[in-house]
């Protein structure tokens, strides 16, 4: 397994997420709009942004955890069964915590 390839991919994804989080810091203006529809739109936009931010922060946490595992020499090991996570899974999701079998049992 080429750990450096996964480390670079994780570092790039981390930077991309940090940049995206910066763009979502812009606060929606809830000013004194007279139009209730406009207020509803602003409220909905704010809610959507909060949801996106939460998803990005969770992904960032997983990426940082994976980078820590690389540094500790524990990258690519399933947190549930402690077997090796396949390259197929790591190529798709380099921050994956679980092997294919354990992911399958969780979703059932």
Average pLDDT, integer, range 84-96: 95
Residue 54 belongs to some domain of the structure: yes
- Residue 108 located in a structural domain: no
Greater confidence (46 vs 97) lies with: 97
pLDDT at 77 over 70: yes
Nearest 5°: CA angle at 45, between 29 and 35? 55
pLDDT (average), residues 19-29: 75
Give pLDDT, residue 79.
Answer: 95
Is residue 72 domain-resident? Answer: yes
* Residue percentage of the chain with pLDDT more than 70: 85
pLDDT over threshold 70, residue 14 = yes
Range of the domain at 67: 3-76
Confidence category of residue 1, pLDDT binned at 50, 70, 90: confident
pLDDT band at 26 (very low <50, low <70, confident <90, very high): low
Specify if 34 maps to a domain: yes
Of 46, 59, 48, 71, nearest in space to 18 by CA = 59
Residue 71 belongs to some domain of the structure:
yes
Answer yes or no: is 23 within a domain.
yes
Which residues, including other chains, have CB under 8 Å from residue 63's CB and lie 6 or more apart?
A: 10, 13, 14, 17, 94, 95
| Overall pTM > 0.85 | no
Alpha-carbon distances, residue 49 vs 17, 55, 59 (angstroms): 14, 10, 15
Residue 98 lies in a domain: no
The answer to whether position 53 is within a domain reads: yes
- As for how many domains the chain has, the answer is 1
In angstroms, the CA 101 to CA 65 distance is 21
């Amino acid at each position: 397994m080429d750990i450096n390839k996964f480390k670079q991919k994780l570092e790039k994804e981390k930077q991309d997420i940090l940049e995206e989080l910066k763009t979502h810091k812009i606060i929606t203006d809830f000013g004194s709009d007279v139009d209730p529809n406009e207020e509803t739109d602003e409220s909905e936009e704010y809610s959507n942004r909060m949801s996106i931010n939460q998803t990005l922060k969770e992904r960032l946490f997983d990426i940082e955890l994976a980078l820590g595992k690389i540094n500790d020499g524990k990258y690519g090991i399933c947190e549930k069964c402690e077997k090796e996570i396949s390259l197929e899974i790591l190529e798709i999701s380099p921050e994956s915590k679980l092997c294919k079998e354990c992911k399958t049992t969780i979703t059932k």
